[in-house]
Structure 1
Amino acid sequence: MLESQRDKFALPPEISYLDCAYMSPIPLASIEAGKRGTAVKAEPWKMTIDSYYDGVEEARTLAAGTIGATADDVAVIAATSYGLATAAKNVPVPAGSTIILMENEHPSHRYVWYELAEQNGGTVTVVAKPEDGDWTPTLVAAIRDSGLPVAVVAGTLLHWFEGTRVDIEQVAEAVREAGACLVMDGTQWVGAVPFDVREIQPDFLSFATYKFLLGPYRLGFLYASERWHREGKPLEHHAWHRYNGDKPDFYVETVPGYKAGARRFDMGERSDFAVLPVAIESLKLIESLGLPAISERLSFLNDRIWEEALRHELVPAIDPLRVPHISILDMKGRLPEGVGAKLKAENIHVTVRGVKVRVSPHIYNDEKDIPRLFEVLSANALD
């Protein structure tokens, strides 16, 4: 099994950082790449037209590899919300149709659908959290039993904070049967679990790099299926995603055609010299380690988390619907106010919301980080 990669990060030994689902640190090599990238603009006279293209294509290819796609399928974008807004600009939502999403979905995967439904005379169907916590049959039933034509389903592999899994294969099958579009947010899992767009066939999959991809803030990628390579309309227009944008006379032709594939959805200033090199270096690390090995490591660490939670009697049982890379511990009445601050005072970092503690390790964590967390949680737990 893959060992801890802590030596590749600037994590002091006293820090137990278990909050990747909030924000990951970036590897040391990525920090250096960012420094070199930032320095490019210090000497702009050394730049060539290739400076605007080479890194972009490398990043595109590496990102595609994390989801079983090809470089032609992937656009370089600013954020998950940018990609979802792009999807919303393209998917058809006729008047009288509905968009289906889970209750308490992440704002980036929620607000845009309400606006689109309102603009087009459609509705939003919010699927309430089921009593048993199993989203899959509830979502599938909502799609198949909808009294309205289903236009879009907002999909994912897990509820972004509940941490409970969604069988996206079953959901995708129901979406296809309904003739709807499947738009996915992958920010909370791309880089942590293997995924293949060829199997699930979403219309769009948007994901940021700052969590499990170990990358920078303000950068993401958008997968677009082949249909949208031909029909898709981008959010913005610039020379970089059109043919001949790399030619000295790029401004002569009035409106050149879009470049091949999903490149038409690329954001402006996509080659950001301070940000893109950071993502490239982080994606190279993930590629070199391999997503299956990373996933196995994260599953191992999360198994230890649940074992410790049970040993300290902080949860009654292991959640059978949990995902392998994030642990959501529902401590109910045992979690005191201010426990998040107490954990930080001990250099232990997780997310605390209400009665739940979200623990999300990555390859930089040692096994010793986990008992440290539970020593503090147990010492402060209410009887």
Structure 2
Amino acid sequence: MDCKKSDFQLDHSVTYFNCAYMSPQLKVVEEAGKMGLQRKRNPFKISTEEFFGETDMLREEYAKLIHASDPNHIIVIPSVSYGMANVARNLPLSKGDNIIVVGEQFPSNVYPWRTAADEGGAEIITVTPPKESKDRGKLWNEKILNAITPKTKLVALGNIHWADGTLFDLKKIRKQTRNVGAWLAIDGTQSVGALPFDVSEIQPDALVCAGYKWLMGPYSIGLAYYGPALDNGKPVEENWINRYESENFANLVNYNDDYQPGALRYEVGEHSNFILVPMMLAAVKQLNAWGPENIQTYCRDLISDGIKKLKKAGYKIEDEDYRSSHLFGIRLGDGHNMEEIKAKFEKQNILVSFRGDSIRVSPNVYNTDEEFERFVNALVD
């Protein structure tokens, strides 16, 4: 796969290694947004079928990306917190049960479980990373697996950790949750789109993703996959469009107490967003054309030589088996000064994120070898 910088609206005066903050705009996504905005000039041209058709197309395209056999298990959401709230509302909890999260997890995948635990008399167990830098990812995964007991009703985490890219072994975690009858809710925001994900293989109860990072879409739209465990649950929102036979506009005043079947009951109100949905659709189509496996390989090839150089200079970076290549953390060794590094980056217009004690680096297919070399030299020179 070659560099795709020309496909993006990105200021070339900056060295942007911060897709984990927000992706730059794909040109095809921007064009789709413009066309969507212009549609409302003549609202009489927007048919009732279009309230459903374009969303259905997005479902089908996203199903290809995550290898879901049934697109109707996928819904449009406005945010990760919304997607997780649907899970939290339907999670069966009793006094003495527990919910497992990992240390320094993104708040949208923590707050819903705190509320659910408070209401159900359950406990939140936070599995923190080991203090050792050697085999850190391996040991962290072992701690998670050991924490899952028959009292566990949910494990909620990312495919990778949002701050440093640590990979979690979802196959083993899913197997362990099945053994004890617990649900698995995955925040895929920092992985889906750049790292291959197979719903048919992992079989999570929920996979929830914001759209504006690795999915290359706009802000305020995301996608959620819900498994069979949630087929008959109660959504957090009571809107007209997630009711059974809502496609029949003439019959809407004959109120229907039944929801749309399965996961479709959880869809956000006004999910037929005529601007954001076509933008999201254009983005997912482009990702399917490129292939997440090719994106991951591109990033791996981009960073491999530089990471060797950084490790030789004393920086601490997780071994490849337990981290992603599109998002990884760099921790400082002896003799490194974070404030000096920040000043160098600012002077050279190098954009990354700083999360906890880690420099979070998140390249993508718009980055070049020269840019990553410039980044590495700023750290070692």
Q: Report the TM-score, using the length of structure 2 for normalisation.
A: 0.92
Q: Determine if contact 1:305/1:327 at 8 Å carries over to the other structure.
A: no
Report if the CA contact (8 A) 1:206-1:223 is conserved: yes
| Cα shift at 1:194 | 1.0
* Kept after mapping to 2: 8 A contact 1:8/1:27: yes
2:148 alignment partner, one of 129, 137, 143: 143
Is this contact kept in 2: 1:332–1:356, CA < 8 A? no
In structure 2, C-alpha distance between the alignment counterparts of 1:33 and 1:372, rounded to whole Å: 34
The structure 1 residue matched to 2:377, chosen from 356, 375, 381, is 375
Please tell me the residue identity of whatever aligns with 2:380. Answer: S
Q: How far 1:36 moved relative to its partner?
A: 0.8
How many residue pairs get matched? 373
**2:191 corresponds to which of 189, 198, 214:** 189
Give the drift of 1:173: 0.8
Aligned-partner Cα distance in 2 for 1:193–1:185 = 13
Q: 1:304 to 1:264 in 2, by over 3 A?
A: farther
Q: Tell me if the contact between 1:242 and 1:258 (Cα under 8 Å) persists in the aligned partners.
A: yes
Question: Compared with structure 1, are the counterparts of its residues 245 and 213 closer, same or farther at alpha carbon in structure 2 (3 Å cutoff)?
Answer: same
SS at match of 1:34: helix
Q: Give the letter for the 1:233 counterpart.
A: K
Q: 1:353 to 1:205 in 2, by over 3 A?
A: closer
Contact 2:73 2:226 in 1 (8 A): yes
Distance 1:116 1:293, change over 3 A: same
Is 1:56 the counterpart of 2:55 in the alignment?
yes
Query: CA deviation digits over 1:210-239, x for unaligned, max 9?
Result: 11111111111111112322x121111222
Classify 1:164/1:318 alpha carbon distance in 2 versus 1 (closer, same or farther; 3 Å): closer
C-alpha separation between the residues in 1 aligned to 2:292 and 2:324?
Answer: 16
Structure 2 residue runs of 5 or longer lacking an equivalent are none
Instruction: After superposing the two structures, state which structure 1 stretch, 341-350 or 271-280, moved more.
Output: 341-350
For 1:81, the equivalent position in structure 2 comes to 81
- Corresponding letter in the other structure for 2:71: A
Q: Which amino acid aligns with 2:2?
A: E
For the 8 Å contact 2:166–2:328, the answer to whether it is kept is no
TM superposition shift of 1:256: 4.9
* 1:351–1:359 CA contact under 8 A, matched in 2: yes
Aligned residue in 2 for 1:284:
285
CA distance, structure 2, for counterparts of residue 66 and residue 329 of structure 1: 29
For residues 221 and 296 of structure 2, the distance between their equivalents in structure 1, rounded to whole angstroms, comes to 23
- 2:161 corresponding residue in structure 1: 159
| Residue 309 of structure 1 pairs with residue 310 of structure 2 | yes
1:237 alignment partner, SS class? coil
Whole-angstrom distance in 2 between the partners of 1:338 and 1:131: 25
**Corresponding letter in the other structure for 2:108:** S
The root-mean-square deviation of aligned C-alpha atoms, in Å, is 1.9
Instruction: Tell which deviates more after alignment, 148-157 or 110-119.
Output: 148-157
Q: Given residue 83 of structure 1, which amino acid in structure 2 is its aligned partner?
A: G
SS in 2 for 1:325: coil
Give me the whole-angstrom Cα distance separating, in 1, the residues matched to 2:346 and 2:273.
Answer: 34
Among 340, 356, 359, the residue aligned to 1:357: 359
Change (3 A) 1:189 1:316: closer
Please point out which of 223, 229, 235 is paired with 1:227: 229
Q: What are the within-5 Å matches in structure 2 for residues 308-347 of structure 1?
A: 308-310=309-311, 313-315=313-315, 319-320=319-320, 321-333=322-334, 334-337=336-339, 339-340=341-342, 342-347=344-349
Q: Is the 8 A contact 1:76 1:263 kept in 2?
A: no
Q: What secondary structure is seen at the aligned counterpart in 2 of 1:368? A: helix
SS in 2 for 1:124: strand
State the shift of 1:8 in Å: 0.4
2:300 aligned with 1:299, yes or no? yes
